[in-house]
């Protein structure tokens, strides 16, 4: 079955300020992508940074625990 964005899960974004919304709109425009795509990319990047940081912490803990 093909992906149908009309039936995809939806979420309403509440911007912290009108200026934040304007920055998102400008960045999406500059990158020639939809605002939704920009926000989804930002979420993916944030999640990836968290996973990478978890790995760094784990490696540091292992290094500190080694005799």
Q: Residues 11-32: what's their mean pLDDT? A: 95
Domain ranges of the chain: 16-65
Q: What is the pLDDT of residues 34-64, one digit of tens each?
A: 999 999 999 999 888 888 888 888 888 888 8
% of the chain with per-residue pLDDT over 70: 99
Q: Residues 20-39: what's their mean pLDDT? A: 96
pTM: 0.69
Task: For residue 38, give every residue at least 6 positions away whose Cβ sits within 8 Å of its Cβ, in sequence order, or none.
Answer: 24, 27, 28, 31
Q: Residues 27-38: what's their mean pLDDT? A: 96
């Amino acid at each position: 079955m093909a992906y149908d964005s009309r039936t995809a899960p939806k979420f309403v974004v509440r911007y912290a300020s009108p200026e934040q919304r304007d920055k998102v709109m400008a960045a999406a425009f500059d990158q020639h992508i939809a605002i939704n795509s920009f926000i989804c990319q930002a979420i993916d990047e944030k999640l990836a940074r968290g996973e990478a940081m978890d790995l760094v912490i784990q490696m540091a803990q292992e290094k500190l625990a080694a005799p």
